[in-house]
Amino acid sequence: MNTTASEKINVWLDGNYDAETKSTIQKLQAENPTDLEDSFYKNLEFGTGGLRGIMGVGTNRMNKYTIGMATQGFANYLKSVYGNAEISVVIGHDSRNNSRFFAETTANVFAANGIKVFLFPALRPTPELSFAIRTLGCKAGVVCTASHNPKEYNGYKAYWDDGSQLVPPHDKNVIKEVEKISSVDEVKWTGGEANITLLDDAMDNQYIAMIKDLSVYPEIIAKQHDLKIVYTPIHGTGITLVPKTLAAFGFTNVTVVEEQATPDGNFPTVAYPNPEETETMSIGLAKAKAMDADILLGTDPDADRVGVGVKNHKGEWVLMNGNQTAVLAFAYMIEARKNKGIAQPNDMVISTIVTTEMINEVAKQNDVHCYNVLTGFKWIASLIAELEGEQNYIVGGEESFGLMIGEKVRDKDAVSAVALLCEMAAVEKANGKSLYDKMIEMYLQYGFYLESLISITKKGMNGQKEIADMMQGYRSNPPATINGSKVCEVLDYELQIGKDLESGESWTIDLPKSNVLQFVTEDGSKISARPSGTEPKIKFYLSVQTKLNNKEEFDAKYTELEDKMQAIRTDMSL
């Protein structure tokens, strides 16, 4: 067995760990030493977003002790920043197994350190935590969730006082403090229970009222109030607030997918609780088809991602991809505000470097400034804070089925996204069209862009090295051509250098360092490679484009773009 793992196992067997934990370790020693080694060969890394991992005993697992040590480090950092000033935090959690226990453990450790804690009384959507931090004037927050990961996982997302996940310098500084905690004996586990306050319905009501204020066309909703909406929370937190928010908007014909309505960390009806997966949305799709609904919405366990199902131009039910959903939302918020006369000269929108270039074109044609930031909503939130008072933020989003509408929440928010997507569907229905019809019209106006995402998983002790080797291979030996088209630009966000391969000209990329490589070809294709920050995966984002001259050639052009993406995959062995 790995020497490091063996040493850590002995520490846990001899240290101040509960009897059940020690018994589990001994059982794994006898029955599954390989799994035991994987559980201890390293410490579960507290990354720039917090923790995420498989639940179980060990330093490389999500459990009471890894949660407690992370919280102690976070508490130490907060006290070093704010000194003797009062510090308060908000704690929330999703529907996953152990999430309530992890949230209460987190609350207890913060409270034992003299920090005032506002704890949600039960599961709530992650975006409401972001809203609560800002509303209550707290210094930080934590939500216990692993988002859309499989049921074996849980996580710990750390937030700062602006309601955003940690960005520099706080992200790295918190990591340093967490890494200083070398023993569970350094954790203050109990003694501050009086510092914990349970939140009540008032926060829910304020959050829903905030989302209702985002509506651009409430008068159209009033006329289309019976829009046929099917919604699935996929056993997650969305059930607590999405139906209430839709009712607040004025929608009266909402059908919840009962098979997936009950919060359940085992996610019994799906293999993977991710609304971008067709299998995950299949029950909802069947119900929407049977009811002849107007729109299907699904949210992941912590209700920050949204999946959308609509009927296409042939009357077939399909799922929109994340880029399509983002483009629809960006275009709606830009065009609707302009048509209603409430657009401001300093309106801005924010996308990310791996999201469709079509968003930039929509913004350009409507004279709205579009910024592109690194992947992750914390970078969108960071730019909002930087430009506050100068530019008026409208909407942000990225291809990962996330939207952030309005500036009151500083993380992706599927609750507001569901409500606004239903409003979009109502507006189109009032014009005798569907959201898919609108999408085709946008392809005509802004250009036909199509994207896909390929994720390659590399698990285990060697997984990270394999991913690092793949990135280094692309970095040191970038492809000269992709699918027969010459690579004309290489963008290396880790080195912060862009290069024109024909002229040899290079320039500085004015964004924080990030391990992302992008290849732009002569025919307008863009291929991005990026290791995931939360899963043992390397992700490849493919984007292709063409011109759509009329609606009649849509199917042929769609097939042409799909074939092109498949050819790129083959050429790059993806």
| CA dist., res. 58 & res. 502, Å (int) | 52
The alpha carbon torsion through 360, 364, 367, 370 (nearest 10 deg) reads 20
Task: Tell how strand 153-160 and strand 254-256 pair up.
Answer: unpaired
- C-beta atoms surrounding 183 within 10 Å: 11
Task: Tell how strand 88-93 and strand 50-54 pair up.
Answer: unpaired
What's the maximum distance between 2 C-alpha atoms anywhere in the chain?
A: 72
* pLDDT score for 458: 84
Alpha-carbon torsion (439, 443, 446, 448), positive or negative: positive
Catalytic one of 147, 164, 525, 528? 147
The single-letter code of the amino acid at 489 is E
Q: Which SS3 state, helix, strand or coil, does residue 53 take?
A: strand
| CA dist., res. 55 & res. 133, Å (int) | 27
Q: Which residue has the tokens 């014909």?
A: 253
pLDDT mean values, one per 10 residues, the chain (574 residues): 92 96 96 94 88 95 98 98 96 98 98 98 98 98 95 97 95 94 97 97 98 97 98 98 98 98 98 94 98 98 97 96 97 96 97 96 97 96 96 96 97 98 98 96 97 87 84 92 95 96 94 95 95 81 96 97 96 92
Give the Å distances, CA to CA, from 122 to 101, 131, 228, 301, 413: 11, 16, 30, 14, 18
* pLDDT score for 464: 81
Q: Which CATH class is domain 42-204?
A: alpha beta
Q: Which SS3 state, helix, strand or coil, does residue 492 take?
A: strand
Count Cα atoms within 13 angstroms, Cβ side, for 46.
25
CATH number, domain 450-571: 3.30.310
CATH number, domain 225-446: 3.40.120.10
Distance from the Cα of residue 531 to its chain's centroid:
15
| CA dist., res. 231 & res. 248, Å (int) | 15
* pLDDT score for 48: 77
Residue ranges of domains in the chain: 42-204, 225-446, 450-571
> Which tokens sit at 474?
């692309």
Q: Do domains 42-204 and 225-446 have the same CATH topology?
A: yes
Residue 404 belongs to what H/E stretch?
A: strand 402-405
Q: Based on the residue annotation, tell me whether 147 is a catalytic residue of this protein.
A: yes
| pTM for the predicted model, two decimal places | 0.94
